[in-house]
Amino acid sequence: MDVFTQAEIVNIASQYRTINYTYAAAVTLVVYDSLILFRREVNHIYSGPRSLAKWIYVLIKVMGLTMFSHDFYTYYTPHKESTEPNRYDGFPTTISRITGVGLFEVGDTAIIKTLLVMRLRALYRNHRGVTIILCITTAIELMSTTYAYVMAGLNNQWYVVVPDPLPGCTLGPQNTMTHFRSPVVAWSTRLASNSLELLFLLYGLYRCLKGSESYFKKGWGHMRQIAPVLYVFYRDGTMFYIPIFVLSAIGFVGSIDTRIVTHLSCANWEAWLAIAYYICGTRLILNIYSAGTEFTTSMITQHVSSVAFNHGSGTESDESDDGYTNLPKTALDMSQRHETSSVTV
């Protein structure tokens, strides 16, 4: 096992820092997302009777913004080399990392992952086997993330104190990499979990498109038939698994090869994944309220026209008129529409 010198450790740690325009892009994205959702938040969340979903939405907002504020602050925090290791001095650092960043990271992810799992299992009509598989993979993913933060916090007691972005990127003098495999463990389990969820999503999408034979086998000529189905999958929330999977894959590659992270000029994949979860979670709840459905009921089998879509103009009541007035009643009726049109022609 390789042993790293103090200079090599600081050099490795510096590779895990983002550059200024990445920081600016992250802040801009979060602020822009909050602004464009503000009107819908007022109409659906901050007005009317209180409900559990509304409280969950507020909790996601608070936890997400708190976590982002911490991560963004550490972007400009210079690396600090450790002095004489001391367990007592390191203990507050451990508590700060685990409860401050780790708790918000794991807690926020757990809430949003639960909502996404409910949407995916609803696509399969709450099938018991699918539910068990999704719950197991989600639990493993969350436990690996918790492990990564715990190991990072414990190692802060003895080694170089390196601020965020990635948990487990604190490396100490004359220390092997044995205790610093936590990022690889966390990202590998995330990738495995999100890959399985993506397969469930793609298979569900395939089933909806299979009857009309409007998938890629027929080429781009059937995009008019595909678009309504993709639209409903997006509003249903199941499409959110795609950006999460992409970020998990990039984060996994970055955890095993720091050169890839450096070349992409974005080391903080942990924060970017959290931003993706934050955006997906808030939009998911708002979409559910706009459609007037429940988390345990899939929109795929509901009227397409009931899924509101805001063009950016008009009143809230006009959101249901989304330009798809001539669509079939449900996404699963695509096959019936295709068969009818082929007979007519």
Predicted confidence (pLDDT) per residue in 143-174, tens digit: 888 887 777 666 555 544 444 443 434 444 44
What global pTM score does this model have?
0.69
Beta partners for 175? 4
Tokens representing residue 173 in the block = 């003098």
Going by pLDDT thresholds of 50, 70 and 90, the confidence category of residue 108 is: confident
User: Residue 88: its pLDDT value, please?
Assistant: 36
Name the pLDDT band for 256 (thresholds 50, 70, 90). Answer: confident
Most confident region among 156-160, 176-180, 298-302 by mean pLDDT: 298-302
Spatial contact of 66 and 104, defined as CB atoms under 8 Å apart? yes
Helix (H, G, I), strand (E, B) or coil at 80: strand
Which of the four pLDDT bands, split at 50, 70 and 90, describes residue 200? Answer: very high
Structure tokens at 333: 């009726």
Backbone angles phi, psi at 330, to 5 degrees: -135, 165
- Residue 165 CB coordination number (10 Å): 22
Cβ-proximal residues to 294 (8 Å cutoff; 6+ apart), any chain: 288
Instruction: Give the residue from 287, 311, 310 showing the smallest Cα distance to 297.
Output: 287
* C-alpha pair distances (Å), 73 with each of 7, 23, 58: 24, 10, 22
pLDDT score recorded for residue 158: 52
Residue 274 binned pLDDT confidence (cut-offs 50, 70, 90):
confident
Measured distance CA(344)–CA(259) in Å, rounded: 58
pLDDT at 198 over 50: yes
Q: How far apart are CA 198 and CA 251, in angstroms?
A: 16
Give the residue among 91, 72, 251 at the shortest CA–CA distance from 163: 72
Point out the least confidently predicted range of 10-24, 54-68, 270-284, 329-343: 329-343
At residue 148, the pLDDT reads 76
How far is residue 176's CA from residue 158's CA, in Å, rounded to a whole number?
Answer: 13
242 φ, ψ (degrees, to nearest 5):
-70, -55
pLDDT at 5: 52
Indicate the domain borders of the chain: 6-339
If one compares 251 and 10, the residue with the highest pLDDT of the two is: 251
Closest CA to 40 of 303, 243, 274, 315: 315
pLDDT class of 139 with cuts at 50, 70, 90: very high
Distance from the Cα of residue 119 to its chain's centroid: 14
